[in-house]
């Protein structure tokens, strides 16, 4: 089964600093690197490295062909990535000595995405999207019309988008802050929101999965020497969906995703930190 990912594609500028700047403070960076990034790109690479067949839907500008090439090199189908006049999305990522980060994203071409271009799916395939692009609602509608299972990684959190698409979602992935915001807005608990599967990630505290059957699965995080947490959540999501798309149980998928994320945080960078399945 294939996974169709409507996702952002960014040029990441990664600054390594001793400590993250406070408001009004200027700090000196020890290192600057430019790498492939964006939640969508990271998730596509994670799913491909986990062994899934992945189709990526998105947009880049004239400065972004190298990012398309990076996805193609990973085995991701990039036929649905459009080239537009806007510059490719970009992000400034500051990472401190403890591996914590601050990120500022300029959407650029990501906000030129047309989600209705999803036309190659078939029943049994999965569709994934997040909130760094435009076109989420038409993408979800197209996926449902083609009989696909729809997963939503609701980051960066956008309440309006979440409320619009929630009735059509089969699998919801959120962190604990996003879960609290969504539950507050709907006056429901996470297991009452509607999706057959909901997974709440909690960083070093692990993750909790909720199934429509009423099952609650707690999965601890694995010990790791934290270097950079930038792509940890994207790695988790990619490995989780790759496993679920092959019919693995929620518990097994969460354990696999946790192992992958524990490796990702031990490395520097975004896409560069994502492990291959053979490393697990």
Task: Assess whether pLDDT exceeds 90 at residue 3.
Answer: yes
Check residues 17 and 116 and name the one with the higher pLDDT.
17
What pLDDT score does 68 carry?
98
Q: Name the band, by pLDDT with cuts 50, 70 and 90, for residue 108.
A: very high
What pLDDT score does 99 carry?
86
At 238, which helix (H) or strand (E)? helix 232-245
What pLDDT score does 163 carry?
94
CA distance linking residue 175 with residue 68, whole number of Å: 28
CA distance linking residue 233 with residue 174, whole number of Å: 9
* Beta bridge pairs of residue 250: none
Q: Given 3.40.50.720, 3.40.1190.20, 3.30.1960.10, 3.40.50.300, which CATH number is that of 2-9+39-88+109-279?
A: 3.40.1190.20
Query: What does each C-alpha distance from 174 to 12, 106, 158, 168 come to in angstroms?
Result: 23, 22, 12, 16
Taking residues 15-29, report their average pLDDT: 95
The model's pLDDT over 154-197, given as tens digits with 9 standing for 90+, comes to 999 999 999 999 999 999 999 999 999 999 999 999 999 999 99
Q: Are 111 and 90 in contact (CB under 8 A)?
A: no
């Amino acid at each position: 089964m294939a996974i169709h990912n409507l996702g952002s594609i960014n040029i990441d500028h990664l600054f390594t600093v001793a400590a993250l700047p406070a408001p009004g403070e200027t700090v000196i960076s020890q290192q600057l690197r430019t790498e492939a990034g964006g939640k969508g790109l990271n998730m596509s690479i994670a799913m491909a490295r986990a062994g899934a067949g992945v189709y990526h839907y998105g947009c880049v500008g004239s400065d972004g062909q190298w990012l398309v090439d990076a996805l193609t090199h990973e085995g991701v189908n990039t036929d649905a990535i459009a080239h537009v006049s806007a510059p490719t999305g970009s992000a400034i990522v500051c990472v401190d000595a403890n591996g914590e980060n601050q990120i500022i994203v300029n959407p650029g071409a990501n906000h030129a995405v047309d989600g209705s271009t999803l036309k190659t799916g078939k029943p049994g395939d999965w569709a994934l999207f997040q909130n760094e692009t435009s076109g989420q609602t038409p993408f979800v509608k197209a996926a449902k019309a083609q009989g696909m299972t729809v997963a939503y990684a609701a980051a960066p959190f956008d309440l309006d988008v979440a409320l619009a698409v929630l009735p059509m979602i089969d699998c919801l992935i959120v962190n604990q802050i996003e879960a609290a915001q969504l539950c507050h807005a709907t006056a429901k608990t996470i297991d009452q929101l509607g999706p057959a599967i909901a997974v709440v990630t909690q960083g070093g505290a692990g993750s909790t999965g909720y199934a429509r059957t009423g099952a609650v699965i707690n999965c601890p995080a694995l010990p790791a020497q934290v270097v950079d947490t930038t792509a940890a959540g994207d790695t988790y999501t990619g490995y989780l969906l790759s496993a679920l798309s092959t019919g693995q149980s929620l518990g097994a998928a969460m354990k696999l995703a946790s192992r992958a994320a524990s490796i990702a945080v031990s490395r520097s960078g975004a896409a560069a930190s994502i492990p291959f399945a053979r490393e697990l």
